[in-house]
Amino acid sequence: MSKSKRPAGKAANTSAPSASADSFLIPAEYELDEALVDKLANLAVELATEDEASPDLPAKQRDLHRIITKSLRQQQDDVLYEALERARDQEAEAYPYLREKIEEAAETVFFSRNERSYEVNAFVIPMFVRTVGGLDAEQNFRDADAFTELTASIKEAQLESADAKVVLVSYAYHLDEIDAITYSHLEAMVRDAYAAMTDKKLTSTPAIDRSMSNWPANRFGAEDTAVELRFLLGFALKTADDPFYTIPKDEAAMDAYFAVRAQRFQAWSEKVVPLVQRCLVTDGRQFDVHFLYQDLFHGGKERGIAEYFMLQMMSELDHGLQESGVDAQRTHAIMGPVHTEGDVLLRVNIYNGETVVATAEKPLDGGGDLQIELDDTCDALLTMGVQSVALAEEFDAAGKAVNVQPYADGAVG
């Protein structure tokens, strides 16, 4: 899954309408503004490599922000996604830099009201839901009282400021739906939320409404134990100077700040399980939920995706080992990238001697931290019982691991 590309909609449920199909239609006479794309990509390259002491830096940063925000407001997603691709081609550091700036502008929007500055951000809480038989769309958020309590719990647990306004969407988003939300769609959703939280009259939320389509068909049997990734989506309105959100600059104080927040989230996640169960299951079936972490939209989305693909990979490898009848204690693993038509996958082969007894692949996020991906995969393999892990420079077209070296945490420089 290439994260720089414009979301293509719901690949897992092609019969369902795309979450953004009616909001980002491009007229037949539409032509991509090539000059604007080049300017945005070039600015990203310059800023990603610019000396921080350069006197030109502030002006270039303002230009970049202006182009991004204008493209978001005009729903020119193609400009943003194409600029990301071109930035990637020109300079490795430019891609993650530009993606971070676009994501920030899409998920956090600033407003002025009564001479005060406010911001609204979109956040998600990824969760793995375990049920017998799988989740049923007909039971999705039917308990209004449980939903009200769940929304209130966010502030009660001090995950957001006591002075903030917080709303949740009464819906458990499937990964396909979250992944189909483009940058400009998300920015429009944030504006919807701001209007709803500040207008005394009942306000429509068209962008939020169209983010909810249909879950893919339930593929689990009535007696199957199902583990499914879902996302809670919310919005927080706060003053721009709310001290609750001030992150200390001192490294030790910063670590303590986030440690306390993690403790609050852990306490919240244990307390709200019965509420989430009432929101998702109405027929008393077996239910359990594992929350990952509350984060801004794109960070939470990537965390959920990374965990989802990791679990899928480990499940495939475990299945391969069981099919082969080989104990993990008698195996070793080699992991490395595979390049396929512009996308990069991480492949893991598990060997018994020279024989591959299990293999699996998962997408690599071009803008993510490769070191973290490899360390997490290595840890998961060792937890399975695999005796040793090595890193290949790549797997070639014939599937052969090239330039294999023993792997240790921090192996990628």
64 Rama class: left (phi>0) / alpha (psi -120 to 50) / beta: alpha
Q: Is the pLDDT of residue 35 over 70?
A: yes
159 CB-contact burial (10 Å; exposed 0-12 / middle 13-18 / buried 19+)? buried
Q: Would you tell me how many other CB atoms lie within 10 Å of the CB of residue 230?
A: 23
Q: What is the pLDDT of residues 151-199, one digit of tens each?
A: 999 999 999 999 999 999 999 999 999 999 999 999 999 999 999 999 8
pLDDT at 219 over 70: yes
pTM listed for this prediction: 0.86
Q: Which of 134-138, 143-147, 160-164 has the lowest mean pLDDT?
A: 134-138
pLDDT (mean) for 222-249: 93
DSSP strand pairing (343-352 vs 332-340): antiparallel
- Say whether pLDDT at 30 is over 60: no
What's the mean pLDDT in 287-296?
A: 95
For residues 294 and 129, give the distance between their C-alpha atoms in angstroms, rounded to a whole number: 16
Predicted pLDDT of residue 372: 85
Return d(Cα 246, Cα 165) in angstroms, integer.
17
239 vs 17, more confident: 239
List of residues 6+ apart from 127 with CB closer than 8 A: 229, 230, 231, 232, 276, 289, 290, 291, 292
Predicted local distance difference test score (pLDDT) of residue 409 = 61
Question: CA angle 270-314-268, nearest 5°?
Answer: 10
Is it the case that residue 247 has pLDDT exceeding 90?
Answer: yes
DSSP state letters, 245-287: GPPPSSHHHHHHHHHHHHHHHHHHHHHSHHHHHHHH-SS---E
Q: What are the structural domain ranges in the chain? A: 110-297, 305-406
Q: Which residue has the higher pLDDT, 399 or 71?
A: 71
Token digits for 119? 């911001």
CATH 3.40.1530 is right for the domain spanning 305-406: yes
Q: Once rounded to an integer, what is the mean pLDDT over residues 31-58?
A: 89
Query: If you average pLDDT over each of 166-180, 335-349, 399-413, which comes out highest?
Result: 166-180
- Confidence (pLDDT) at 19: 33
Cα-based distances in Å from 247 to 108, 143, 167, 244, 266: 17, 36, 23, 8, 20
Band of residue 27 on the pLDDT scale cut at 50, 70, 90? very low
Query: What ranges make up the beta strands (E) of 31-156?
Result: 108-113, 116-132
Q: Is the pLDDT of residue 231 over 50?
A: yes
**Whether residue 404 has pLDDT greater than 60:** yes
Give me the pLDDT at residue 343, please. Answer: 79
Q: 408 or 225: which carries more pLDDT confidence?
A: 225
Which of 164, 151, 153, 173 is closest to 121 using CA atoms?
Answer: 164
pLDDT digits (tens, 9 = 90+) for 350-400: 999 999 999 999 988 766 677 888 999 999 999 999 999 999 998 988 889
